[in-house]
Structure 1
Amino acid sequence: MIRGVRGATTVNKNDETLIVRETEKLYLALISENELKADSVASVFISVTDDINAAFPARAQRNIEGWKYVPVMCMKEIAVPGALPLCIRIMMHVNTEKDQQDIHHVYLNKAVSLRPDLQPSN
């Protein structure tokens, strides 16, 4: 079974170091929360809002041991008026036997506002 594992985070400004650092934090949280191994990940899509262009957030994946060969692609998010700015979203396509409700989606920084229904306290 292939399941989608979602996550999102934000940065305070369009800065190369921040983009890579916050994306790496999100990756590590997704990996930890879902006990992921690189070999079980078919691909990763990363989208960014229009106000992020100082770096490819996919660079963060290269900092993670064992994730060198996982296919990853960056793209632009739809520019919806009033949408959360400076946002980075990740969608991992993971081979797993877990049921849909057992997948842990992770939202960090201001991105917690995107899915308050998925926060641990709910």
Structure 2
Amino acid sequence: MYVRGIRGATTVERNEEPHILAATAELLEAIVVENGVTPEEIGSVFVTVTPDLDAAFPAAAIRNMAGWELVPLMCSVEIPVKGALPMCIRLMVLANTMKAQNEIVHVYLNEAKKLRPDLVKG
């Protein structure tokens, strides 16, 4: 068994709680589906947001998902790099899995597809 990092990112159009929570849940659900993992297999989730997103803690969306109540979560703010993609939520999901590194599916949604076009599926 290995601990693998599964990356993901998405963007929102507005700095409003419902948008941040919905986008976070959508991203995590996509990561779970694409990688076939369950909350029991997750060691932790690290969540970052760009400094322009301060209307909600994205981890609250994860905490409210069925089965995720005991998964350790941590939120932080991305470093404010000039020219960085704005309104962005990023996840680093640490999962226990037998998958090889090249079998992990990283998920990029909305404008965040620009971050890693090499990893975006068709």
TM-score by length of 2: 0.97
Q: Deviations over 1:24-78 (max 9, x none)?
A: 0001000100111111100000000000000000011123211110000000101
Determine if the alignment matches structure 1 residue 112 to structure 2 residue 113: yes
CA distance in 2, matches of 1:108, 1:60: 17
Q: Which residue of structure 2 aligns with residue 84 of structure 1?
A: 85
CA distance in 1, matches of 2:73, 2:64: 13
Determine if the alignment matches structure 1 residue 32 to structure 2 residue 1: no
CA distance in 2, matches of 1:104, 1:63: 24
Structure 1 residues not aligned, in runs of 5+: none
Percent sequence identity over aligned pairs: 52
CA distance in 2, matches of 1:55, 1:99: 35
Equivalent runs, 1:17-96 vs 2, <5 Å: 17-96=18-97
Q: Which amino acid aligns with 2:26?
A: K
Instruction: Give the aligned length.
Output: 121
Moved over 4 A (4+): none
Q: Deviations over 1:52-109 (max 9, x none)?
A: 0000000111232111100000001011000000000000111111000100000001
